[in-house]
Structure 1
Amino acid sequence: TEKIDKYISGLPDNIHGNVMSARPKTLDKAIELANDFMDQKLRTYAERQAENKRKLDNNNQVQQQLLKKQNVVQAYVVRTGEKKPYGGSKPMCPKCNYHHDGECAPKCTNCTNCKKIGHLTKDCWHPINANNQRTITCYECGNQG
């Protein structure tokens, strides 16, 4: 029994009391009990960790869904048609309706292809109109096509 007591006294605190209260008669029985209790503790610890992870994942999912719903709702919120007044000091250009000093920059000119303001014809991203297409001309003979 001295060996059993010595073995039990060296066990971790979390299973020491359980093994001691079982009063094992042999050292083998004490070792078997200690292993069983330790396995049980590890199993419940792993289950708790998994449960906590599930709770955390579920909580994060719920929060993400709420944020997504809020973003969708905000996207469809009816806004008033009022624009904020211009707070700068530059005058409004009558040609492009933007505020700037001096002449309109090329970005304020109309594209002759799509008739929109903001880019030059050579930078137009719309398909070229049939009447705006350049004809290919031979440099040597001058023939088109």
Structure 2
Amino acid sequence: MTPKKRTTRASPATTTITTTPVTNAQLKALIDQGVADALAARDADRSMNGDDSHNSGTGVRRHTPLACKCTYLDFMKCKPLYFKGTEGVVELTQWFERMETVFRISNYTVENQIKFATCTLLGSALTWWNSHVKTVGYDVAYAMTWTNLKKKMTDKYCPRGEIKKLEVEMWNLKVKGTDVVGYNQCFQELALMCARMFLEESDKIEKYVGGLPDMIHESVMASKPKIMQDAIEFATELMDKKISTLAECQAKNKRKLDNNNQAQQQPPKKSPATTNNQRNLTCYECGNQGHYKSDCPELKNQNHGNQAGGTGARGMVHALGGGETNQDLNDMEDDINA
């Protein structure tokens, strides 16, 4: 019997791995390189497909139109204000506000913000800006932020004494009567020029609510507005409702007063009983109804005739004494005329 051969499995060869320590700088460089390679591959894929938008799932890539940058001509079509430097604090405030409105609607880019804004400066204001550009250099001047430009222009064209007057006016500002709309406009203009008075938005809101009239002050305060716009809109709406209610009450009271005046001017209506009694009156002189004997037209005609002749019954009666009553006179006249 032939013995079976034994097979032995060779033990696997041991592989020795040597590691090289990587510094943080090297690791960061590797990561950056990987990101750069990924971005390059993505850009290459986009260029091949002609667009960088997502696939719609139908095999056709959607094309998203690129936003068109605002040119200077586009900016000027939005009609920004011009500023010469001699108009005063209020006009400078209006220039700021209008410029910010144009920024919002013109699709401007940040790098062109100061360039476009300063192109609306004229006269002494333009001279001041050109002098600043020469001092700090073109790149530095046009790299300025809008906030910094506003501050520099405020320091230049709003002297400290003028700002102090505006701050005093702000502290004393209150609603006149029910004109909340006028108060809103004045408050916002002053707040723009007196920014150092309000370090927080809550400080500005507190001052605004404090200037409202008593009829809406508590309600606006109870609403606890978080931003100025909320406080302004709520106060304006509330005052409009108050004015509308007051106008309705005044109109209602006027109608009542007019009705009362008309009722007082109309003559009192005679009762049917009074009218019937007058119709049933009988004159003892002529026998007709509707009047007393003293109002009898025939008796009056007789009296006129007697007075003309100088011997009237009434004259004879008066000559007797003159202290008799009307009834006594009528009786005496009847006796005399009988």
Q: TM-score, normalised by structure 1?
A: 0.51
Give how far 1:43 is off: 0.4
Q: TM-score, normalised by structure 2?
A: 0.24
Pairing 1:83–2:283 present: no
Question: Counterpart in 1 of 2:236?
Answer: 35
Residue among 302, 314, 321 paired with 1:97: 302
Q: Which has the larger radius of gyration?
A: 2
Give how far 1:61 is off: 4.7
Give how far 1:78 is off: 1.9
Q: Unpaired segments of 5 or more residues in structure 1?
A: 86-93, 105-145
Q: Supply the distance in 1 between the matched residues of 2:242 and 2:252 (Cα, whole angstroms).
A: 15
* Corresponding letter in the other structure for 1:21: A
Pairing 1:51–2:268 present: no
Q: Supply the distance in 2 between the matched residues of 1:77 and 1:42 (Cα, whole angstroms).
A: 55
Task: Compute the RMSD of aligned alpha carbons.
Answer: 3.2
Aligned residue pairs, count: 93
Q: Unpaired segments of 5 or more residues in structure 2?
A: 1-201, 283-291, 311-338
* Corresponding letter in the other structure for 2:254: K
Greater helix proportion: 2
Question: Counterpart in 2 of 1:19?
Answer: 220
Q: Supply the distance in 2 between the matched residues of 1:101 and 1:57 (Cα, whole angstroms).
A: 52
* Corresponding letter in the other structure for 1:56: L
More relative contact order, 1 or 2 (CA 8 Å, 6+ apart): 1
